[in-house]
């Protein structure tokens, strides 16, 4: 939705509130101005931090709505829940005072779902395995999306790193023949993971529950459209394996609920402290949960007296979300398969534990088989697109797995060249640690260079005494960069780390426009914003 349509929607809401039928509101509030309060969600890593929230807050006030409480800004690069709780603790008393409502004091914990354990459900009516993701017992039909992912056979899983790397990066191909799935180079592939069986078993062990018990959680609010938190009935094992996030850092509201299950007073006070909004409590949570990277399994292990009801834990834990990967293939070359490039995440925490990425560690063990190994996937459309005209030159900056979407781009440009079309310069800046260890798709890229499709600048950061990154090479090649974006109206693409690399590229771009375009800083910034609005400067980044 563009900003003009969004603004029109806000005006319609205000107008409806003021002049709509009294059947929609009590007569007492019919002629009062609408009230509002806004808490915005954003991430300081990105340029337009909380821009929508800021706009809504300002525009509602302009349209005559009455602000009840100050704007809240949440930063997901830090601790967005902490931001919200700090804001909420001041928000509720203000709202109660504004409307003359008597506050209830301390938060009261009320269970949202009612537990039913089953002994007699027909096995074919129990959600389990891949069915857990389908939300249906019927055959799959397109279109495929978050609620109806396609169970794709895995057809290729090969290692991209050299034998001396010490790390792992997978090239994975999924078979989508006959599925009617459509994708374009630059789109994202969503993959639904499965939790590690050892972690699941530990939760059952710590809670003292038979994980094969079949249960249902039913919403106690009869008017709610969400009857169950996830497809039920299912076993606790299925819920913990397919539905619930058991590897993330639990939020403070979860710890607050769990504290009540501690039989040791010191354990209880420890958890309650970390849920408080005091400086000491925030610091304790940040250190013990975030910095030491504890998930729910670690917390159950490290708080011996904590024995929560497993059904309550299933209610509290967030849903296991799909993971998105930049598609690393072009449908013009690979119409019946979709490829992704993924580094296997594995690291040691300050407590000495080894944490593993949910999706990549699961996929690492998946290989082509008969019957086929099925993975739930769907395509998320992106605005990360090649120019319409293949004659338009492009510069692509993608260190590490940032190369993924550019592999698809290069495939399309190479195909166009082989079809006899006039193809503009295709320039890639790729970086890795060492050429013999983690130079992804080395042979493919060298073949594209050999046939004249690709120009590549490589940064091998650890092959010399001082670190060399793609941003260093980009800065050295200011003339080439300006020729593409300034003289030939070309495009520049950035894929990878948002916090450092993408920000550095933006700053270099600003310098190049100022120096080569002979512009003042303000004019150069305007020039880059115009490139952005024209889709000539595109980013696919993550923090």
Give the three-class secondary structure for 8: helix
DSSP letters spanning 223-246: T-S---SSSSSEEHHHIIIIIB--
Query: Does the annotation count 479 as an active-site position?
Result: no
- The pLDDT value recorded for residue 109 is 62
Which range has the top average pLDDT, 55-64, 149-158, 216-225?
149-158
- The one catalytic residue in 87, 362, 495, 504 is 495
For the residues 513-531, what does the mean pLDDT come to? Answer: 96
Q: What is the pLDDT of residue 22?
A: 45
What is the structure's pLDDT at 31? 43
Work out the average pLDDT over 210-231.
92
- The average confidence (pLDDT) of the chain is 90
pLDDT tens-place string over residues 19-67: 554 444 444 444 446 888 888 888 877 767 888 888 888 888 888 888 8
**pLDDT of res. 25:** 44
- pLDDT at 68 exceeding the cut of 50: yes
pLDDT tens column, 316-337: 999 999 999 999 999 999 999 9
Write down the pTM of the prediction. Answer: 0.86
Supply the DSSP symbol for 417.
H
> Which of 110, 70, 130 lies closest to 94 in space, CA to CA?
70
Above 90 in pLDDT, residue 15?
A: no
How many residues can be counted in the chain? 543
182 pLDDT more than 50? yes
Q: Would the pLDDT of 2 be above 80? A: no
Query: Residue 504 pLDDT > 90, yes or no?
Result: yes
Band the pLDDT of 533: cuts 50, 70, 90.
very high
Catalytic one among 235, 326, 330, 539?
A: 326
Rounded distance, CA 536 to CA 213, Å?
55
pLDDT digits (tens, 9 = 90+) for 293-319: 999 999 999 999 999 999 999 999 999
Q: How confident is the model at residue 146 (pLDDT cuts 50, 70, 90)?
A: confident
> Where is 204: in which H helix or E strand?
helix 197-207
Residue 61 CA, distance from chain mean position: 32
Q: What is the pLDDT of residue 155?
A: 97
In percent, the amount of the chain with pLDDT more than 90 equals 70
The DSSP line for 436-498 is TTS-TTHHHHHHHHHTTS-EEEEEETTSSSS---HHHHHHHTHHHHHIIIIIS--EEEEEEEI
501/346 Cα distance (integer angstroms)? 22
Q: Supply the pLDDT for residue 428.
A: 98
pLDDT in the model for residue 103 = 64
Catalytic, 210? Answer no
- Which secondary structure element, helix H or strand E, spans residue 279, and what is its range? helix 279-285
Segment 132-152 mean pLDDT: 76
Range with the poorest average pLDDT among 83-92, 178-187, 415-424, 520-529: 83-92
Q: Which of 7, 165, 436, 542 is catalytic?
A: 542
CA–CA distance, 245 with 335 (Å, rounded to integer)? 33
Catalytic residue list contains 362: no
User: At which residue do the structure tokens 């944490």 appear?
Assistant: 355
Q: What is the mean pLDDT of the segment spanning 390-412?
A: 98
Does the pLDDT value for residue 417 go beyond 70?
yes
461 among known catalytic residues: no
């Amino acid at each position: 939705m563009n900003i003009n349509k969004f603004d029109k929607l806000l005006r319609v809401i205000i107008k409806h509130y003021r002049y709509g039928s009294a059947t929609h509101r009590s007569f007492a509030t019919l002629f009062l101005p609408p009230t509002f309060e806004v808490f915005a969600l954003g991430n300081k890593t990105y340029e337009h931090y909380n821009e929508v929230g800021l706009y809504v807050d300002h525009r509602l006030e302009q349209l005559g709505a009455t602000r009840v409480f100050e704007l809240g800004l949440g930063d997901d690069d830090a601790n967005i829940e902490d931001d919200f709780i700090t804001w909420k603790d001041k928000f509720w008393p203000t709202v109660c005072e504004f409307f003359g409502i008597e506050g209830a004091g301390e938060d009261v914990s009320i269970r949202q779902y009612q537990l039913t354990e089953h002994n007699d459900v027909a096995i074919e009516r129990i959600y389990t395995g891949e069915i857990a993701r389908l939300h249906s017992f019927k055959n799959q039909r397109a279109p495929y999306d978050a609620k109806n992912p396609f169970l794709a056979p895995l057809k290729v899983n090969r290692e991209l790193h050299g034998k001396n790397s010490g790390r792992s990066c997978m090239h994975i191909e999924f078979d989508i023949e006959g599925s009617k799935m459509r994708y374009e180079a630059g789109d994202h592939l969503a993959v639904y993971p499965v939790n590690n069986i050892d972690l699941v078993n530990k939760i059952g062990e710590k809670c003292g529950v038979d994980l094969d018990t079949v249960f249902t959680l039913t919403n106690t609010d009869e008017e709610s459209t969400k009857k169950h938190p996830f497809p039920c009935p299912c076993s606790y094992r299925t819920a913990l394996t397919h539905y619930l996030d058991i590897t993330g850092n639990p939020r403070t509201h979860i710890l607050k609920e769990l504290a009540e299950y501690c039989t040791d007073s010191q354990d209880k006070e420890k958890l309650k402290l970390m849920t408080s909004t005091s400086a000491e409590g925030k610091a304790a949570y940040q250190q013990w949960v975030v910095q030491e990277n504890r998930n729910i399994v670690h917390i159950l292990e490290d708080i011996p007296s904590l024995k929560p009801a497993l059904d309550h834990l299933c209610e509290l834990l967030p849903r296991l979300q799909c993971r998105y990967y930049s598609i690393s293939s072009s449908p013009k070359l690979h119409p019946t398969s979709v490829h992704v490039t993924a580094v296997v995440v594995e690291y040691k925490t300050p407590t000495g534990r080894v944490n593993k990425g949910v999706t990549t560690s699961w996929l690492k063990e998946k290989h082509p088989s008969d019957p086929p190994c099925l993975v739930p996937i769907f395509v998320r459309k992106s605005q990360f697109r090649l120019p319409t005209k293949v004659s338009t030159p492009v510069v692509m900056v993608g260190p590490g797995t940032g190369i993924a979407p550019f592999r698809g781009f290069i495939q399309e440009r190479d195909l166009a060249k082989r079809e006899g079309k006039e193809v503009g310069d295709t320039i890639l800046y790729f970086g890795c640690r060492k050429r013999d260890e983690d130079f992804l798709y080395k042979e493919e890229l060298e073949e594209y260079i050999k046939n004249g499709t690709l120009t590549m600048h490589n940064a091998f950061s650890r092959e010399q005494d001082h670190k060399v990154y793609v941003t260093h090479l980009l800065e050295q090649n200011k003339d080439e960069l300006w020729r593409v974006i300034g003289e030939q109206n070309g495009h520049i693409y950035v894929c990878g780390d948002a916090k450092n690399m993408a920000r550095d590229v933006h700053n270099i771009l600003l310098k190049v426009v100022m120096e080569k375009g002979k512009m003042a800083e303000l004019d150069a910034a305007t020039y880059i914003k115009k490139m952005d609005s024209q889709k000539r400067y595109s980013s696919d980044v993550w923090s």
